[in-house]
Amino acid sequence: MLEADILNKLMEDPTVVAILNSQNGTVNVYNGAIPKSAPTPFIPAIVLQGGGTKYFYGADGINRFHQKTLQFDSYANDYTTALKVSNTVRELLQEFSGPLTNTIVTGSLIRRDMDMPFEPGEGGYLFRHLLAIEFQYTENN
């Protein structure tokens, strides 16, 4: 599964770990959403979501090559940190290709890189920067 592979790649990257200011062995990278059980401080954080997949078929069935867009939302207490976190992800993945645990990524293309509206919360504002990358890959199985 591409999502799991990319999540692991982010969590194992020392630059990502450093900018997320990870504490107590927790790296704030999540699939889908920041869970309510996430240990504090839970930001800065990166959340991955699937943003659409292109599948290809021949007469004999589905092609193992897929193109999937993953959305990386970078959250922080201030605008600049949210942008720095997003840029760290971009620099790591913007030209990435190679084998991962479950997939072989043959190419990565940035599709969106944009600010999102801040979100009001109990203790202030939460800033979010959106990065969407399309991965070209094949599943190992």
Partner 1 sequence: MSNVAATTYTWLGGAFEFEQNFGSGSFTTISQVTDVDESGSKWDTPDITSADNTDGVKRQTTTLFTPGTISVSILWNPQDASHIALKATYLAGGTHNFKRILPGAFSGGTRSFQGQISELNVGKQSLDKPTNATLKVLISGPYTDS
Q: Is 67 in the site for partner 1 (CB under 8 A)?
A: yes
Separation CA 135–CA 59 (nearest Å): 24
Q: Is 65 in the site for partner 1 (CB under 8 A)?
A: yes
Of these, 109, 115, 116, 140, which contacts partner 1 (CB under 8 A)? 109
Q: In what order do the strands lie in the sheet with 61-76?
A: 29-31, 45-58, 61-76, 124-139, 103-121, 98-99
CB of 79 to partner 1, least distance (A): 31
Restricted to residues 1-60, the positions that interact with partner 1 (CB under 8 A) are: 56-60
Restricted to residues 88-107, the positions that interact with partner 1 (CB under 8 A) are: 107
Binding residues with partner 1: total (CB under 8 A):
12
Comparing CB distances to partner 1, the nearer of 88 and 108 is 108
Closest residue by Cα to residue 73 from 46, 93, 94, 92: 46
Helix (H) or strand (E) holding 85, with range, is helix 79-93
Helix (H) or strand (E) holding 33, with range, is none
Residues that bind partner 1 (CB under 8 A): 56-60, 63, 65, 67, 107, 109, 134, 136
